[in-house]
Amino acid sequence: MSDHAPDKFDLCVMGCGPGGFAGAMRAVDMGRHVCMVEADEIGGAGVMWGALASKTMWELAKDYDVAAKIDRGYRASDLTVHYPSVLSTVIAAVEEKQQQMLSQLETLSPRRWQGPGSVTFKQGRASFVDPNTVAILQADGSREEIHADFVLIATGSRPRAFANIETDQRRILDSDGVLNLEAFPARLMIIGAGVIGCEYAAIFSNFGQTRVYLVDHADRVIPYEDEDISDFVSTNLEKNGVKILHSAALKDIRRHTDHLDVILDFTDGRASVVKVDAVLVSIGRVPNTDGLNLEAAGIAPNNKGFLETDANCRVGGNIYASGDVTQHPALVNLAEMESRYAVKHMFGEPQWPMSYRNMSTVMFFKPAVAAVGLNEKTCRKKKIPYRVGYYSNALLSRAIAMRSTNGFVKIIVSDDADPKILGMRAAGPQVSNTIMSIALLMDQDKGIRDMLKSVHPHPTMSEGIQDCLRLLLDKSIYKPSAFPDLIHIRAWHPDKGFHRGSHREG
């Protein structure tokens, strides 16, 4: 693809994941010539091993779970699931996105693209020679060097290894190795109850072929969220057949021909041995900065291995970084935003300040949970007075029609005369779409009265947001007095603690 490529580039992008790809395309928009270098699979963890692959598997598992239900007036006879066929569908989804990315890279290559700017794609492992020179080591051992005015490091991250436990990606695997399984394991233990661990617990339990154990080193899953959110997630996983082992830590794994013995230590001093067929280690991710020869560029990671960037995503001089190699959350949308912002800054395009304040996220459990803004824990830590309204999906006509009422909307607002939304958590169908409406309004710094000027369509899941906002003004259609288990409101103040608060109006 590099025929007729320029000898010197405006930008070299290390890593062709979603972040690096987005940054390269933004540079092409600005008429710049880009060299993009990828050492492994195009799309990186955001496509091949992470977001797209796992969410495709989650969708298939959710569909299977719905098809297996017998409380909706129909029953699927002889319903079966074949793991290799599931994997084929996941791989088809991954390859579809990879082909889209490759097709665009080919279209914008110097030998085809007649417009301003271009992208030259090179397969190989990039490392610095100096701040403006990048060496590319290819699989056949050949080596070349390219020169660029700027470098964007977007090399992503990889699963964190467990000390003294060898990951063979067959029976003991991490999220990169899930696609190596040849069949549904009869018994699967997941080490780590963060987002990825809980997502895979939901996936494998939804398929109904696997006994899932989830090891949580703390006393609750998703510990950084509010207790009610954490309890909601764990309760639903347990209802789905997942056995959660709280306050436990992996001590060792003993390999046998036909099974694995997992030794767990608990904080109360006892130990337990659990017999399983496979172990999925999900204890976080580490940045891919090793092998980049950063010292040759005059930069270095911090003591945790991350690259520290300033408000403009710059590491130093002409070198920028985005996505998982920085200390910000490992999210595809964040990597794309940072990459685009970095490119605009390096080439001097006017822009507004980048804000991480209202980044919305979706956690694909059963059901899915979405989040934006502050939670109650953070408000109390920052001593921000707040009021919070809870509105169950059980009161929503759309959820009732879908026969899927397990979920809620929880909105946190400032406790003042003109309440503004500080954060929202929601669970249930379509939360990935409804959360964005609140994120947009939060960005506009609108009060909740302004938000209620718009009328939501009926019947929709977003009506839960509408009536929850009304609840916070004591104007909801359904009342807490009638449904105390489905609707409630509370307030907190740093001087008063939790207390009753009201904003009654006519």
Q: Given pLDDT bands bounded at 50, 70 and 90, which one contains residue 503?
A: very low
More confident residue, 206 or 501: 206
Q: Hey, what CATH topology would domain 172-283 get?
A: FAD/NAD(P)-binding domain (3.50.50)
Secondary-structure percent of the chain, ordered helix, strand, coil, rounded to 5: 30, 25, 45
CA distance 336 to 345: 14
Residue 1: predicted pLDDT: 43
C-alpha separations of 354 from 209, 334, 359, 373, 397 in Å: 45, 11, 11, 15, 38
Q: How many residues does the chain have?
A: 506
Q: For 79-103, what is each residue's pLDDT tens digit?
A: 999 999 999 999 999 999 999 999 9
Q: Using CB atoms within 10 A of its CB, is residue 147 exposed (0-12), middle (13-18) or buried (19+)? A: middle
pLDDT of 448 > 60? The answer is yes
3-state secondary structure of 452: coil
CATH architecture, range 367-499: 2-Layer Sandwich (3.30)
* CATH code assigned to 8-158+287-346: 3.50.50.60
pLDDT score recorded for residue 5: 54
Mean pLDDT across 134-146: 94
* Per-residue CA distances from 408 to 424, 440, 475, 484 (Å): 11, 20, 18, 14
Residue 434 has pLDDT above 80, yes or no: yes
pLDDT tens digit string along 189-230?
999 999 999 999 999 999 999 999 999 999 999 999 999 999
pLDDT over 80 (residue 292): yes
Q: What is the mean pLDDT of the chain?
A: 93
Could you tell me the two tokens for 495?
Answer: 């001087």
CB 237 within 8 A of CB 198: yes
Q: Distance between CA atoms of 454 and 473, rounded to whole angstroms?
A: 16
Domain ranges in the chain with CATH number 3.30.390.30: 367-499
Token pair 């990671």 is at which residue?
Answer: 301
3 state SS of 118:
strand
Average pLDDT over residues 391-416: 95
Residue 255 and residue 225 in contact, taking contact as beta carbons nearer than 8 Å? no
Per residue, the 3-state secondary structure of 338-398, as one string, reads: HHHHHHHHHCCCCCCCCCCCCCCEEECCCCCEEEEECCHHHHHHCCCCEEEEEEEHHHCHH
pLDDT tens-digit map of 22-81: 999 999 999 999 999 999 999 988 888 788 999 999 999 999 999 999 888 888 888 999
pTM equals 0.93
DSSP string, 189-253: EEE--SHHHHHHHHHHHHHTS-EEEEE-SSSSSSTTS-HHHHHHHHHHHHHTT-EEETTEEEEEE
DSSP SS3 for 302: coil
HSE (side-chain half, CA atoms, 13 Å) at 88: 5
Q: How many CB atoms sit inside 10 A of residue 203's CB?
A: 26
Cα(426)–Cα(360) distance, integer angstroms: 11
The beta strands (E) that lie in 192-309 are given as 211-215, 243-245, 248-255, 260-266, 271-276, 278-281, 285-287
- Residues of each domain in the chain carrying CATH 3.50.50.60: 8-158+287-346, 172-283
| 98, two tokens | 């990879």
Residue keyed to tokens 């409630």:
488
